[in-house]
Each structure stands twice: as structure tokens, then as C-alpha cells.
Amino acid sequence: MTTDDISGMGPLVARLSRGGQRLRHADRTHPWVLDTAVVVLVFLMFCLPDLIHGGADDGDGPPRFRLAFTQLPVGGILALQAGLVLPLLWRRRRPAAAFAAITAVFVLQWSLGAPLRADIALFVALYSLALHGRLRQLPWACAAMAGAMVLVAVRVSPAVSVWDALFFLLSTATAALALGMVVRIRRAQLAGLRERAARLETERDQRSRLATATERTRVAREMHDIVGHNLSVIITLADAGAYATDIAPERGKEALRLIGDTGRQALGELRRVLGVLREAGDGPPGGPELSPQPGTADIEGLCGKVRAAGLEVFYRTSGDVEALDSGVQLTVYRIIQEALTNTLKHAAPGTRVELAILVEDSRLTIRVQDTGPATPPGPPNEEGHGLVGMRERAALYGGTVSAGPTGGEGWSVEAVLDLTPGSGGER
């Protein structure tokens, strides 16, 4: 077969596929139509010739074959045909009942010694039982079929060898049974594939929703850190500037300048976070201008802004902090930013803050301790979003965060991260 022949079959295959789909849809909507069509087809092909010629033995066979059977009147033939064919109407809804009814009529017919072409209905019933019935019903159906075939072989023994007749009849029954099982298995495989496709589609949608929720949480956490910290610094600087305007105008100008710098930095960080949310075609041709994520090198600048807002911050490190992974550095920066923001919100001006980052093998410890009043950062018995955000960030690296009063007038926040490769989550 050439390539042109294959390409020419494309429209034909497509039309046949669409036709098959329409037939299956029509069958699901009106199942009785197909059942009735099968009965009519069997009647026209196998029953009508017997009614016209007076039975399967129409006088053209060998004399010994004609003498072995009984000639029934038209009424008897019609009654037996009805018993053989009409049960096919429920061959799909009640396959076992249809098979049993047809087998009973079949045995009665051959006991009378009257062969009919309508006996094909027994093989159709066996096929339907294998396709639509329960599998545990097949053994007794096969036994009944074998018994009926033995009866037929014995009745035709004057004309045909019993073993030859049995071979032909049992082969035909086996073919009907095998065809029904093959179609049944194929339908089960297709149903399994459809179910698997539906399950994969559901899992894909679930993963998409989970990824969306995760990204929303990440963006919300970033927005909280950026807006919360910088607004706290701006508010504190504004209050200090208003107080210093009359006493020390230069300090008031310095506060206003720091407010502008903090606002511009916050605006830049917000543009960076929101810029990555845009689709590729929504932004300018070159895409959003992204600045690097903050890391441990930016912590000193963060401390400088907090000092300018009125707190005394003492910052120290231990270990190779600069060699940390960029994701770990961002986590460290955000945890410290949130801890200093809470101190800025709840501690009095002049509060001493001790900030330490300790790196020991696969363990990183962040400790932020102040000497201000031990006021929890939120309503009583309720954790604020900042502490929850810190714990979420630490959990990305298998870490924990603890916060509480130091026993005196201060408040302490301590975070421990696990730096073991593969222990942290992906951002």
C-alpha cells in the first residue's frame, strides 16, 4: 500500500469513525432499536426460508438425511422460530435469561427431530452472554451448550459422523464464545483508557490549582514582607521627622530623605514582584526589569534603615554566610526583615536589637533579640501573619521558628534551618 493510498483512506476512516460514534450514541439513546433490528435480520435471513420451504430439510438433501428428521407444519415451525428468535430482544438486558430460553426451545426442537435455520439464534445468545453477562454464568452456559451440541450430533448421526458433527458444532460455539470475550475485553480496555484519561485530566487540574495556590501564597508572602517592613520604617521615620522638625530641622530633612529612599525601594520591589506575574505579551518588548532577590549581603543595609528609624541594631555573623545558596539567603533576609519589622512596630525608640546569623555545618541559626517590652506581635492568643510567614519560609528548608519573651523586657525570635542537600523544598 502506497502513501497515496494511505492518505486517501483518511477521509473514509474519519467518516466511518463519525458514523460509528453516531450509531453508539443512537444505541445508548434507543437501545431497543438495535435489538429489534437483530431479531428482524435473523427472521429475514433464517426464519423466512424455513417458512417458505417447510423446514431446514427442504427435500434436496440425501435420502437418509431426509428420513432422519420430522417435517413440521407451518404453525409448529413458526412457534419454534418465535421461541428461538424473540428472546434475542432482551439478549443485552438479560443475557442469561435469553440464553436459557433459547436453549430450552433448541433442545425441544431437536428432541422433535426438526432442524431449523433459526438455530443460529443459540450462537447469537451465547455471544451475547459472553459479552454482556456475568462471567460466573459462562461455565454452566458452556455446559448447557455442549449438551445441546451432543444432542444435535446424535440426531444427525444417520447422515454425518458424530465426531465430525461435534467438531463443527463445538467449533462454531467456541468461535461465538471467543468473539464475545474478545469484544468484552476490548470494551473493558477502552473503558479503562477513558477512565485513566479522565483521572489524568483531573490530576492535571489539581496540580494546576495547587501550583496556583502555592504561587499565590508565595506572592502574598513577598508582598507582606515588602509592604509591611517598608511601611513600618516609613511610619516610624515620619513620626520621628515630625517630632524633630521644630527641634532639629536637619534631622527632619534627613527623615524625609530616608522616607523617600525607603518608598522608592519598596516601589521597586513591588514592581519586581508584580512584573513576574505578567504574561509575556503584557509587558514592554524587553520584559520587566528585574532586580536580584535580596540576600545576606543586603542585611547590613536593612539594619541601617532600622537604625535610622530609631533602633540600635548590632549585627554579627559566624561561619561562611556569603556561600549560602541564593534561596537560603532570600529566606534568611525575609525572616530577619519580618523580625526587625515586628520589633520596629512594638518596641520603643532606642531599643537595643541583637541580630546574629550562625552557620555551623548543615545548620543555620538566626537569632533576633531586643530589649524592648515583651509585647507579642499581634492580638492575644493569635499569631500574626508575619510569624506565620516566617515559619512557612523556614519550613521550605526543614526549619523551625520560635518566638516569645526573653524572661525580661525583651522579645526573641529564633529560626533554625537545615542546610542538608535535598532537605528543603523548592520555591
Contact 277, 302 (CB under 8 A): no
- Cα separation, 172 vs 380, in Å, equals 84
pLDDT, position 27: 66
pLDDT, position 177: 92
Pairing outcome for strands 312-318 and 352-360:
parallel
Q: What is the SS3 string spanning the chain?
A: CCHHHHHHHHHHHHHHHHHHHHHHHHHHHCHHHHHHHHHHHHHHHHHHHHHHHCCCCCCCCCHHHHHCCCCCCHHHHHHHHHHHHHHHHHCCCCHHHHHHHHHHHHHHHHHCCCCCHHHHHHHHHHHHHHHHCCHHHHHHHHHHHHHHHHHHHHHCCCCCCHHHHHHHHHHHHHHHHHHHHHHHHHHHHHHHHHHHHHHHHHHHHHHHHHHHHHHHHHHHHHHHHHHHHHHHHHHHHHHHHHHHHHHCHHHHHHHHHHHHHHHHHHHHHHHHHHHCCCCCCCCCCCCCCCCCCCCHHHHHHHHHHHHHCCCEEEEEEECCCCCCCHHHHHHHHHHHHHHHHHHHHHCCCCCEEEEEEEEECCEEEEEEEECCCCCCCCCCCCCCHHHHHHHHHHHCCCCEEEEEECCCCCEEEEEEEECCCCCCCCC
- Cα separation, 81 vs 46, in Å, equals 9
Place of cell 433490528: 37
pLDDT, position 179: 92
* 318 φ, ψ (degrees, to nearest 5): -145, 125
* C-alpha cell belonging to residue 108: 425441544
pLDDT, position 55: 57
pLDDT, position 326: 79
Beta bridge partners of residue 315, listed in sequence order:
355
Place of cell 455442549: 146
- Cα separation, 277 vs 293, in Å, equals 15
* C-alpha cell belonging to residue 389: 510567614
Which residue ranges of the chain lie beneath pLDDT 70? Answer: 1-10, 12-14, 16-17, 19-21, 23-24, 26-27, 54-69, 215, 219, 224, 226, 228, 243-244, 246, 272-292, 373-385, 407-408, 422-427
pLDDT, position 101: 92
How many CB atoms are closer than 10 A to CB 223?
14
pLDDT, position 279: 46
Direct distance between the N- and C-terminal alpha carbons of the chain, in angstroms, rounded to an integer: 54
Burial of 339 by CB count in 10 Å (0-12 exposed, 13-18 middle, 19+ buried)? buried
pLDDT, position 213: 75
